[in-house]
């Protein structure tokens, strides 16, 4: 397989995403079952889990892939997401981090596991994404706009 990404992490992440082809719905169902088991009170915020889960899952995975490829567009999207999520009550960094972690686990479990290098690549990008979420939360809190 030839990849068009720009880093070893992006290459490993891309292979994982390609391996998911055709099983995205299974992965999302597993992810959201796990998320709602951990945060049952959040279930009521979702009018249509099947619709919302597609975007939430795709964005989370795309952002980690984008971060692995040093894509600058990720910051703007994460910053907007954090601001817009204030409409769903105060979300804490731990919830974002849990969702990211659960997404990686659901992906791994759906495609049948992977090696240590792939796990490390996803975890490095999860750390980078969590740092952006934290930064966005701090910047919005410090902004003159009312947040949350």
The SS3 of residue 92 is coil
Q: Identify the domain containing residue 93 by its residue range.
A: 8-142
Length of the chain: 148
Whole-structure pTM value: 0.88
Does residue 88 sit within a domain?
yes
How many domains would you assign to the chain? 1
Q: Are 57 and 103 in contact (CB under 8 A)?
A: yes
Query: Per-residue pLDDT averaged across 9-26, rounded?
Result: 97
Proportion of the chain above pLDDT 90, given as a percent: 65
130, 94 in Cβ contact below 8 A? no
Q: Which two tokens stand for residue 68?
A: 């692995």
Greater pLDDT, 147 or 144: 144
Q: Is residue 105 part of a domain?
A: yes
The four Cα atoms 120, 138, 102, 71 give a dihedral, to 10 degrees, of -50
Please report whether residue 147 resides in a domain: no
Q: Which residues contact 100 (CB under 8 A, 6 or more apart)?
A: 60, 64, 126, 129, 130
Is there a domain that residue 3 lies in?
no
CATH number of the domain encompassing residue 68: 1.10.490.10
Summary mean pLDDT of the chain: 89
| Residue 139, pLDDT score | 86
- Rounded-to-integer distance, Cα 135 and Cα 61, Å: 19
In a domain, 126, yes or no: yes
Per the domain annotation, does 2 fall within a domain? no
Q: Looking at the domain assignment, is residue 119 inside a domain?
A: yes
How many CB atoms lie under 10 A from the CB of residue 105? 14
Residue 6, both tokens: 């720009």
In a domain, 1, yes or no: no
Instruction: Identify the residue with better confidence: 77 or 86.
Output: 77
């Amino acid at each position: 397989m030839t990849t068009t990404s720009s880093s070893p992490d992006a290459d490993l992440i891309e292979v994982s995403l390609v391996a998911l082809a055709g099983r995205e719905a299974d992965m999302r169902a597993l992810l959201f079952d796990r998320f709602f088991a951990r945060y049952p009170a959040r279930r009521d915020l979702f009018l249509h889990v099947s619709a919302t889960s597609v975007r939430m899952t795709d964005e989370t995975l795309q952002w980690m892939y984008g971060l692995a490829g040093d894509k600058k567009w990720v910051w703007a999207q994460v910053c907007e997401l954090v601001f817009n999520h204030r409409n769903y009550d105060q979300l804490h960094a731990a919830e974002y981090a849990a969702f990211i972690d659960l997404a990686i686990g659901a992906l791994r479990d759906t495609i049948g596991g992977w090696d240590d290098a792939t796990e490390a690549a996803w975890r490095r990008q999860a750390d980078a994404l969590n740092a952006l979420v934290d930064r966005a939360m701090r910047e919005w809190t410090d902004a003159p706009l009312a947040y949350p």
